[in-house]
Amino acid sequence: MSSERGENVVEEEPCKVDKWNGTAVKNALDDDIRRIFTKVFEYDENHSLIDNRLRLCSVACMFAIVALIYDYLKPFPESRSVLAFCVLAYFGMMSLLTLYTTMVEKNHFLVTNQKDAAGIDPSDTWCCDSYMKRFDDEYNLVLQFEDGKTKEKRESSITKSVGSWFDENGLLLHELFQNDVCKLHSSLLAEKKDK
């Protein structure tokens, strides 16, 4: 491993996917970005978006369980009002979950915190989004950076054919992909230093 942060190369087991399966290719690249941010840059992964989604799902499931148990204890005609309430509450929770995933989670597959080296300022936040259209070989990666101190947000992206990072056998070439991600990451950090 090199001592310079961002230039570290962490040895990784070969990742082989069916190169004609767009979903598998996208997931392999997303997983490699998670590896780069958590192992190479050594940022802390922030699970708050997923945790909130799980909380919403848990509350919705609780309404379903209450309806099931109440209907078992007091069969249908008697449980009508409780069942109606639970069904409406479940529908409301699923609607809230849909809004949450659309408006808050958006397409973030990774959120990490970059702690201040001195430990004085708040952590900077990195969000990673990726897009890949169906039957297309173009992988779009969007990195979003939020300064912990000023709350200023910046964004940079790269769009490239997945053929640049996979060989003819579907093996992910970690070093080539990591170099492109590191360049994108460095461009956002350079903007921070310029200001």
Domain boundaries, the chain: 22-43+115-192, 49-105
pLDDT digit string, tens, across residues 61-96: 999 999 999 989 988 888 889 999 999 999 999 999
Give pLDDT, residue 78: 86
Residue type, 1: M
Task: Produce one character per residue of 97-107: b if its CB has 16 or more CB atoms within 10 Å, e if not.
Answer: beeeeeeeeee
Q: What is the DSSP letter of 84?
A: H
Q: DSSP string of 71-125?
A: HHHS-HHHHHHHHHHHHHHHHHHHHHHHHIIIIIITTEEEEEEE--TTS-SPPEE
For 154, phi then psi, to 5°, come to -135, 155
pLDDT digit string, tens, across residues 122-146: 888 899 999 888 888 899 999 999 8
